Amino acid sequence: MSDLAGKTALVTGGTGGIGNAICTRLSAAGCNVITTYRNREKAEQWQRDHAEAGRDFSIIDCDVGDYAACQSMAEKILADHPRVDILVNNAGLTRDKVFLKMTPGMWSDVISADLDSLFNVTHQFVPGMVESGFGRIINISSINGQKGMFGQTNYAAAKAGMHGFTMSLAQETARKGITVNTISPGYIATEMVMAVPEEIREKIIAQIPVQRLGNPSEIAAAVAFLCSDDAAFITGANLPVNGGQFMG
């Protein structure tokens, strides 16, 4: 039996490419999986599709950039579950534009969804983890938080900030049986990336030493490992899963 069997896992933004793979992998390991969404129609169809495949996922509407919304979400989850054992902060968005043309709204939207959300969501569930003496918090960052990217000052700043959050919270919670880690994916073959024109994708792949895009399942495997008992001595780490494109 998996050491994750019976654990409750919350994956924010779980209906997207990487989030979907994470939800599926944690479900296969025996977790009770909950995910947040913003688009009800899409989320309900996603839930039905997984139900047909034998996976029972719970979905809950939440704007992770809004603290009050996260409080409400947590109240609903904790009414049905004693605690959240595993938290994967995966939700986020992009508003790409060169800095000179970036608007305050583009900046604040990304910082809110990609960085403020870590505080908003994690703050709800750490007390339960401390009380139970167990917790796994994994923050999904990006290769661009490590190396920067033209047109992404907002996104790169948020994703870089994620790991500062990780390292600090890891120090505060290590003695409580809680680990906090970051995963920084490179270019992954999600629907969004595959929609990029082929000639541009080929240029991206040419910069990746393993000469291919990553698979969402490979990010999910890294998440599952960091959640496991085998990874109990790993905390405050930033795991790059990028095919060797950036070696920091």
Q: Please list the active-site residues.
A: 155
**8-state DSSP, 59:** E
As a whole number of angstroms, the distance between CA 202 and CA 10 comes to 35
Q: Which amino acid is at 241?
A: V
Using DSSP's 3-state secondary structure scheme, residue 11 falls into strand
Q: Distance between CA 64 and CA 86 in Å, rounded? A: 17
SS3 37: strand
For the chain, the distance separating the N- and C-terminal CA atoms, rounded to the nearest angstrom, is 36
Q: Which of 13, 27, 8 is closest to 59 using CA atoms? A: 13
Query: 214 pairs with which residues across the strands?
Result: 188
The residues, ordered by sequence, that sit 6+ positions from 65 with a Cβ below 8 Å of its Cβ are: 109, 112, 113, 116, 117, 120
Q: How many residues does the chain have?
A: 248
- Alpha-carbon span 228 to 125, nearest angstrom: 19
Helix (H, G, I), strand (E, B) or coil at 5: coil
